[in-house]
Structure 1
Amino acid sequence: MAAADGSLSRDGLRGREAEQERVRSLIAAVARTGSGALALIEGEAGIGKTALLAETVTLARAAGFAAGVGKADELHHIAPLSSLAASLLHGDRPLLPGDAFADLAGSHDQRIWLVERLAEAIESKARGGPVLIALDDIQWADPLSRFALRHLPARLRTSPVLWVLTRRQGPGGPAEEIATAAHEALTTVTVALGPLSGTAIGQLAGDVLGAAVDDRLRQLLEGAGGNPFLAVEMLAGLRAAGPSGEPVPEGLVVGVRGRLASLRPGTLRFLQMGSVLGRGFTFQAAAALCGRPPAALLEALQEAVRAGLLDDEGDQLVFRHDLLRQAVYVDIPPSARKALHREAAGHLVAAGHQPIDAVSHILRSALPGDEEAAALLRRAADDVLPVTPGLAADLMTRALDLVPPPRPSGFVTGERAIVCLTRAGRDREALAAADRLLACRPPLDAFGRVQAALGGALWSLDLADELRRRTEAALAVGGAAPEVAARLAALRALALSRGEDLAAARTAGEDALRDAISTQDREAHVLALSALGEIAQNAGESALALQRFAALSAVDGAYLPEEIVAHLHLDDFACGERLLLRAADDAGSPRQAMLQWAQAQYHLGLGRLDDAETAFVTMERLEDDVQALVQQVNARVVRSRIALLRGDRDTARHHLAAARERRARKPNPGNTAVVHFLEAVHADADGDVARAVEAIRRVQRTGPFMRWRLLRDWAAAAVRMALRGAEHALAEDLAAQAQAHAARNPAVPTATGVAAHAMGLVRDDLGLLEHAVTLLRASPRPLVRAAACADLGPALLAAGRKAEAVTVLTEAHGLYAGSGAQAPAAAVLRVLERAGAGSRRAQAAPHPVHGWEALTASEKKVARLIAEGHTNRSAAETLVVSPHTVNTHLTSVFRKLEVNSRVQLANTVAALREN
């Protein structure tokens, strides 16, 4: 059947029976299993992707699915989330209410949080029945929608959500990224549409013409190459010409020209203006571009609709197919297109649209020297920077091309480009852009601004010496505005925090802080407090570090994770927990990955190895999501130590290799030292004492400040390795470092206890080892206390104090076992057995990898809540954790229980209760 305008209706989908059956089976599978799936429909333009998508939506709705359908647009592909919002909010039956995103404005400073809120809304909808989310022409989706679609299908894999995307064929692109990201988490199907058979094209022709197809017509249709859209356009042109008309020339553009030739000139101009605006456009915008009032164009609109070129959807006009718009568009001379796009941008801005709405037209039309266009790109970049920093960087790079220095505006634009490139993680490009600007000999004030803008990139690139050199040069030449000078001074102090003279660094930081306060510049204030916090940490002054980071967190809440970890360094886990709970309750909590880092440190300190591992895994995933790889090396080092504590040597080696690989990408002193220490731990576990000692020496050579940050809790382990290698001088040096750290932190039980433990090992002093255990009983860190008990036990045995030794060793065993540290627990048990006190103790059975008993305590809590019908958000609120943590737990639960949906999980939990 054909529609009134000669186009295919859904009932006229010919030759796609096999493809329809594939999507029908996928719909049935999602409805039956309750788990997610993704279908990618691909093919050349006009091959029938949209028709099959529409058929899929019809089938899904008939099967009880709630469906949201959207379409990305070639000229409207920049506004953040515009493509996905079309699938969720628009149409006769929107999937989500129109105000669903109204409360997300405050969350737009973080893409991860925005995606999580979207997931919560869709997950809540899916609790009432299966959901289909369809997006046509994914190749034109905006960057934020593409980011969301790379993560949402996997995040919602346990809910009955079917994602259907269409794309034009071609390598790479967003569709391939989305399908690759979803592939391992859920069923992913690609439906490739090839040319229709001659039989199907003949049936299609009969649908359109209402008559049998003769040989002449069949030969003519061979020119369509099996493309149904081209065939219909050729048939429509033939029908319009009448039986005695000339044959339709081959090629769509020529065919459309034939149809347009019969239109009045005003209608043709109206269509051309619409084609400049995009596939979808408003009547008012087209009228403005025509330079005529809307009332004067009513007849043109009616004629275009009657000709089957436009559909009137009420709020906008839409070309019936992208190929129709492109065919009209290519007939506009290129020079005229540029002028019209520039004019369209001006009309949009004048009509009150956001700058981002005009950007597509600016990118197609602006010529070098167009300062107005560059200013518009800057405004648009500022708007999208919080949610799509990569797009902001691209816009500013283009703006800089339009107005390069030595124009004054070129330096302003360049400074902003550096900031955007840095925020996007493109630090090398930021450095190159800065050097290009500086080569143009900027005025002194611009010189200072460029160097200050570059500071973040240099710090991220671990170029502390270069940062110091540049900031000192900018301060020396002078001419910078007071607030810029304050930023430069703070950046200099930050660079000095990596040096050996921390007293000079502290003086520089305090001077910078005074300057920042006097100029009331927030950026300088944040930088100065960050520098002072780093300096205090590197000096091993935990109380002062907390003071600095608490002040920093008060100025900028994004730095709450640093304040939390500073509390933990003081053994103040109660305050750390309160701040973590506050962060979990805060819907707009910033820096989600760093909050997970703080959560991991909290669990690790309390000996909760399972929960610490979960937080580290979540942190790595979140950092990978936004490509901000800050704590990846440290996370893998700790995960490797956790695996060793569990006795899992293979996993520990895997994490060591991953830590080395990540260190190679970011070889700063901290990453280098922590990997060397992990290599020492592995060498010691392998019995290679010489290699372990050499690795410890490399840690010592990395930098003096690392001893405070790295050996805070691990000094005794390093001393033990040195003593096993008969390196007594090295062991004494390590113990002296621990004592110096304790002197800086006399009120911290862990610091004083570790120092006594280390010195007791060096001196083989039973009294010091006993004192260490006494001190560490006031510490909240069970693994540190267990290590001291494990060393005290054999010393007591050697002194003939067996009963006391058994008591201490039993304490060590209980602390290790309670934390899940099976390897040292087993080692302590062997000592007890040799002492004749543990012969009847059974070795712990291997921990299962599948089934309910394979779940950790936290995973069991999450499993029960999800089985009861909780969403990730409500489960997170009940457990007072983040939804990201629940998602990580749930991934592990599904793997261990070998289920694929929440329905299956609920059945499994119910069966366990019955038994």
Structure 2
Amino acid sequence: MVPLRGRSKELGKLLDALRAAGNGQASLAVVSGEPGIGKSALLAAAVEQAERQGFLVASATAHQNDNISPLASLAPALRAGAAPLIDTDQFLELATLNAQPLWLAERLADLIGRRLAGVRALIVLDDAQWSDPLSAFVLQVVIARLPGAHLLWLLATRPSPGGTTDQLIEAVDVPVRRIALEPLTADAIQDLAADRLNHPVDPSLAVQLASVQGIPFLAEQLIAGLYLSDSDLSAGLVEGVRRRTGELSEASRDLVRTAAVFGSEFRLEDVAVLMATPIARLAAPLEEAMQAGLLADAGSVLRFRHELLRSAALADVPPSAQRALHGAIASQLMSAGRGAAAAAPHVLAVAQAGDTTAVATLREAARDLLATMSTTAAELIQEAFDLTRVDDPLRAEVGVEVVSVLLAAWQYDRAKAFADDLLSGTALYQGPIAPDLQATIRLHLAPHRRLDVQELTVPGAAPHLSERLAAYRALSLGAPGAATDPIAQSLHHVAAAEQAQAEGRYADARDLYAAARQTEPGLGSLPPTLVEVGELYCRGESDDLPAALERVRELMTAGSSWSAPQLAVLHARLAYASGNLQEAEDAAHAGLRWMDQLHDRSLAPAADQVLALVALLRGHLTQARKLAGSDPTITALLAIADGDTKAVSRLAAAPQDFPERSGVLLQANAVDEHSQSAASRGALAVVAAGDDVDQLAAAVEIVRTTQRPLLVAQAEERYGRAALEAGDRKTGVLALERALDSLTAMGATAPAGRIQALLQAAGVRRRRWAAVPPRAQEGWESLTPMERRVALLVAEGHTNRSAAEELVVSASTVGTHLRAVFGKLGVNSRVQLTRLVLERFAPPPNT
């Protein structure tokens, strides 16, 4: 391999990153620089070093036309080499997920993670500025998912503020190394030239090399005769390429110029058709162009050796000829059945305002790409709109498609802003705004709940459109009604379901959501996955928890990936209710990650709520406190865990949608008498039983039918305590042991530790108790429940004597606990203790 000149510092940074990857620290390195500065050469040197060190190397190069093919940029890296990152069957599986980008990215992360177990790897993408949107999105997800892999991601890009690589750097949470390439020194350029010539540079060439201004690509072209040093940088390359093509045959010159219009990558058969020349007759001209250093054979396609060479060749084609060729290429691609998406770049190169044929082609291209490349589809439909005249009714028709495509691309704010401008009589559109047009646009936006009630009224719209808008008003106001239009009626079903759900009538709500899903989707329909999320939530609350959990697991790969955050939060809640704490935690974390990737954190408090509850059950109070935010129910549960018995009464105010609300209410001896669920009926029976052992036994059996292990353990604990207090040790111990075993199996160590202590106090002896984590030696978690209560009372201003009266113990006992508190918290005064408690609790625990 030719030595890399003048880049020892930059290569050293990449070698450091490779060493870190070898030690299990994944990272991202981004090499940036202008065209011709030597990015590809630096990547090649890094690849050589990685291969020498035994790394698995997968590399690919993005191309300008990649944005019309999903995963076109990254796929070659996934399948490269004798031992690719993913095999053929796995690649075909990924292809079925092209329309679900998040599921595809998650699946790919799983596959790569398994493939790289115990393997050091380097994944390279050159010219990343041209990455197709799906590849760019997948990179964000996969890099974030594999922070502990022995893996270095290496990208090269041209500077593009806010572009693909900048967005990637912002999205990932791994170390990032930015390497900006500057022009080489004069000595490095001379060394590079000597390497290429295999002899020292003579003085005359040294003078010419000074004109390349440190750009290695131009130095190489100067040596190859493709750059003239007596011109400026751009003109010098154009003149050099012109001189070299002048030495070619006429057929070869025509081939190079025609290919330059096609793009940096092209098929020989396409050029042959355009030149009206049999492919066989182009073999010799093609060989000439390759020998001249202009073109390279990449197997199924041909490419210019560098984009700068293509630009230089294109500069020798008159603008009028370029326009004619672009038009001919677009027509040829369409007639050959290659699709409007392939023709779109050439259509855009020649289209002018009012060109309805170009508008039709771009609209078709946007529709073709919408399912798999929604970002590209959004760009094309916007271009189509811009080609229409401001007073042409066609502009309004295309405008509706712009809104629809932007919404499909998850660009809600942009869609709403565009719709508002379109309908408000601005310079964007000056044609007629019919009521049906306005209603149609509003119904595209309405499923995303981005409209005010006032925007949902359009006088004069067609009856079916008016009914759908009225249904959305009912949905916003919580006032379900009836309609004759099927889609409007399904919306009323959802409104009625939400009302029933808010009232705790989960079985009714479940059936209403199910009825809403029976209607065939159309304009104004709510996303089916989101309606099913509502149905599954209510199924879980209405005594069908196992089936609801199983279905949501299926939807995690079969449902719309745009609904991933909603699915993840529901998954977390159902798993928590089922006692699967690790599954609940994993689902909540996945939901938060997906919210970041979809740039919508509206459900983050719901995910944090589940995580806080899991942390509470595990006894991780500091973690739970960080997650609690301003949630009053979580704050009350934390206060109880800290020994504040007064906080129990605050649990009665737990909101209707709080996870496992029946169990929370049970702690406060409160019940929801209006709820239809077996959980509420069981909790009601437990509260009604009071301390009656027989009634508690019957209540436990009711609770057991709910298949909610946490609630069952809570009821068993009450039953066991009551039996012990009534003198029925055998019954009490059996009930408490059932609760302990269940909680231990779930990993709920905090309540398990409490029950274990109760059993030990009752004289129960086991050869081996469950592995309840030992209490911390210092900090708040090291305090016993009594020590916490003493600390809280002192922070409230109590003296030892008044605290003793509150706790019904002696003042000396309070003093003993207080000394223990001082020692464990590292304070030596009541003032310091009060400050520490106030810092920990916001608001104070008893407010």
The question of a shared fold, defined as TM-score above 0.5 by the shorter chain, is answered with yes
Q: CA deviation at 1:361?
A: 3.8
Of residues 735, 748, 752 in structure 1, which corresponds to 2:681? 752
Tell me if structure 2 keeps the 8 A contact 1:713–1:754.
no
State the partner residue of 1:307.
292
Deviation at 1:344, TM superposition (A): 3.8
Query: In 2, are the aligned partners of 1:196 and 1:226 still within 8 Å (CA)?
Result: yes
Question: Could you report, residue by residue, the CA deviation over 1:228-274 in whole angstroms, capped at 9, with x for unpaired residues?
Answer: 11112233338x99xxxxx6334243243144046347755643443
The residue number in structure 2 matching 1:229 is 217
Larger deviation: 688-697 or 116-125? 688-697
Task: Give 1:179-258 correspondences, 5 Å limit.
Answer: 184=174, 192-209=180-197, 211-237=199-225, 248-258=230-240
Equivalent residue number for residue 515 of structure 1: 485
Matches of 1:756 and 1:526, distance apart in 2? 37
Alignment partner of 1:477: what SS?
coil
Letter in 1 for 2:634: L
The question of whether the paired residues in 2 share the 8 Å contact of 1:829 and 1:838 is answered with: no
Deviations 1:190-226 (A, max 9, x none): 5554433433322322344454323343233222222
1:106 to 84, 88, 96: 96
Bigger shift: 371-380 or 830-839?
830-839
Counterpart-to-counterpart distance in 2, 1:314 and 1:135: 19
- The answer to whether the aligner puts 1:678 opposite 2:661 as a matched pair is no
**Could you report, residue by residue, the CA deviation over 1:795-821 in whole angstroms, capped at 9, with x for unpaired residues?**
677778777666655555554444333
Q: Secondary structure at the match of 2:333?
A: helix
| 1:453 has 2:444 as partner | yes
CA contact (8 A) 1:451 1:470 kept: yes
- Give the drift of 1:28: 7.7
Equivalent residue, structure 2, for 1:567:
539
Aligned positions of 1:661-700 closer than 5 A: 675-682=631-638
Report the counterpart of residue 317 of structure 1 in structure 2.
Answer: 302
1:112, CA displacement in angstroms? 1.9
In 2, the alpha carbon distance for the partners of 1:383 and 1:693 equals 59
What secondary structure is seen at the aligned counterpart in 1 of 2:96? helix
Does 2:340 match 1:355? yes
What is the deviation of 1:590? 8.9
Q: Is the 8 A contact 1:716 1:757 kept in 2?
A: no
Post-superposition CA distance 1:301-325 (Å, at most 9, x none): 4543343222244533321112222
Q: Which amino acid aligns with 1:607?
A: G
CA contact (8 A) 2:556 2:564 kept: no
Specify the code of the residue in structure 1 equivalent to 2:540.
L
CA deviations 1:676-715 (Å, max 9, x no partner) are 4434444555677899978976x7xxxxxx63x34x8425
What residue in structure 2 maps to residue 540 of structure 1?
504
Cα distance change, pair 515–103 in 1 and its aligned pair in 2 (3 A): same
CA distance in 1, matches of 2:15, 2:76: 24
Tell me whether 1:714 sits opposite 2:704 in the alignment. no
- 1:338 to 1:436, Cα distance in 2 relative to 1, 3 A: farther
| CA distance 1:432–1:768, change in 2 (3 Å) | farther
Q: Distance in 2 between matches of 1:253 and 1:602?
A: 66
- Output aligned runs, 1:328-347, within 5 Å: 328-330=313-315, 341=326, 343-347=328-332
CA contact (8 A) 2:33 2:157 kept: yes
Distance 1:133 1:280 in 2: 23
Report whether the alignment pairs 1:819 with 2:746: yes
| Gap runs ≥5 in structure 1 | 1-9, 242-246, 517-522, 661-674, 700-705, 724-733, 850-915
Please tell me whether residue 137 in structure 1 is matched to residue 106 in structure 2: no
Residue in 1 that maps onto 2:773: 846
Matched residues in 1 for 2:289 and 2:651: separation? 77
**Partners in 1 of 2:76 and 2:666 — Cα distance?**
62
Residue from 5, 20, 36 that aligns with 1:14: 5
Distance 1:189 1:612 in 2: 35
Q: Is the 8 A contact 1:106 1:588 kept in 2?
A: no
Does structure 2 conserve the Cα–Cα contact (< 8 Å) formed by 1:78 and 1:356?
yes
1:385-404 equivalences in 2 (<5 Å):
385-403=370-388
Shift of 1:414: 2.2
Superposed displacement of residue 26, structure 1: 6.3
Residues 267 and 301, structure 2, Cα contact 8 Å, conserved in 1: yes
Distance in 1, matches of 2:271 and 2:635, equals: 67
Q: Deviations over 1:399-447 (max 9, x none)?
A: 3333366533333322222223333333232222222333345223323
Shift in Å, 1:295: 7.0
Q: SS at 1:201's partner residue?
A: helix
Q: 1:589 to 1:422 in 2, by over 3 A?
A: closer
Deviation of the 1:143 alpha carbon: 1.0
Give the corresponding residue for 1:856: none
The alignment's C-alpha RMSD in Å is 4.5
The 1:653–1:360 alpha-carbon spacing in structure 2 relative to 1, beyond 3 Å, is farther
Match of residue 431 from structure 1: 416
What does residue range 635-784 of structure 1 map to in structure 2 within 5 Å?
635-657=607-629, 675-682=631-638, 707=656, 709-710=657-658, 713-715=660-662, 717-718=664-665, 735=671, 738-741=672-675, 745=676, 748-757=677-686, 772-784=699-711
| Residue 260 in structure 1 maps to residue 187 in structure 2 | no
Residue in structure 2 matched with residue 491 of structure 1 by the alignment: 472
Paired residue secondary structure (1:148): helix
Gap runs ≥5 in structure 2: 426-431, 522-527, 777-847
Distance 1:848 1:159 in 2: 34
Take 1:827 and 1:93, find their aligned partners in 2: how far apart are those partners? 53
* Residue 148 (structure 1) shift: 1.4
| Alpha carbons of structure 1 residues 690 and 156: separation in structure 2 relative to 1, 3 Å | closer
Residue identity matched to 1:776:
V
Q: CA deviation at 1:22?
A: 6.2
CA distance in 2, matches of 1:713, 1:189: 45
SS at structure 2 position matched to 1:641? helix
CA distance in 1, matches of 2:306, 2:580: 58
Alignment of 1:263-278 (within 5 A): 263-264=245-246, 270-278=255-263
Match of 2:77 in 1: 87
SS of the aligned residue for 1:263 comes to: helix
Question: Shift in Å at residue 145 of structure 1?
Answer: 0.7
Once residues 52 and 399 of structure 1 are traced to their aligned partners in structure 2, the CA distance between those partners, rounded to angstroms, is 40
Cα distance in structure 2, aligned partners of 1:801 and 1:830: 18
Instruction: Go from structure 1 to structure 2 and tell me whether the alpha carbon gap of 1:783 and 1:279 turns closer, same or farther (over 3 Å shift).
Output: same
Rounded Cα–Cα distance in structure 2 between residues aligned with 1:574 and 1:717: 21
Distance apart, 1:750 and its partner CA:
0.9
- Specify whether residues 374 and 695 from structure 1 end up closer, same or farther in structure 2 by C-alpha distance, changes over 3 A only: farther
User: 2:136 maps to which residue?
Assistant: 146
* Structure 2 residue 586 is the aligned partner of structure 1 residue 614: yes
Q: How does 1:31-180 map to 2 (within 5 A)?
A: 38-58=28-48, 60=50, 67-89=57-79, 101-119=91-109, 122=112, 132-155=122-145, 163-169=153-159, 171-178=161-168
Report the CA distance shift for 1:140/1:841 in structure 2 as closer, same or farther (over 3 A).
Answer: closer
Give 3-state SS (helix, strand or coil) of 2:543's partner. coil
Q: Distance in 2 between matches of 1:495 and 1:716?
A: 31
Percent sequence identity over matched residues? Answer: 33
Q: Deviations over 1:126-182 (max 9, x none)?
A: 579766543211111111111112233454566665543222346553334445655
Q: Which digits, 9 at most, give the CA deviation of each residue in 1:729-768, with x for residues without a partner?
A: xxxxx64xx1111xxx2xx43121223445677xx99997
Deviations along 1:522-577, one digit per CA (max 9) or x if unpaired, are x7687565445434423422223333444566779846555543332122234335
Q: Please give the alpha-carbon distance, in whole angstroms, between the structure 1 residues aligned to 2:330 and 2:223.
A: 37
SS in 2 for 1:83: coil
1:111 CA displacement: 0.7
Instruction: Report which stretch shifted further, 357-366 or 345-354.
Output: 357-366
Q: Which has the higher helix share?
A: 1
- Contact (CA 8 Å) 2:2, 2:195: kept in 1 or not? no
Pair 1:829–1:486, CA change in 2 (3 A): same
Kept in 1: contact 2:490–2:515 (CA 8 A): no
Q: Deviations over 1:816-862 (max 9, x none)?
A: 4443333344455666677788999989653699xxxxxxxxxxxxx
CA distance in 1, matches of 2:577, 2:571: 10
Q: In 2 relative to 1, CA 169–515 (structure 1 residues): closer, same or farther, beyond 3 Å?
A: closer
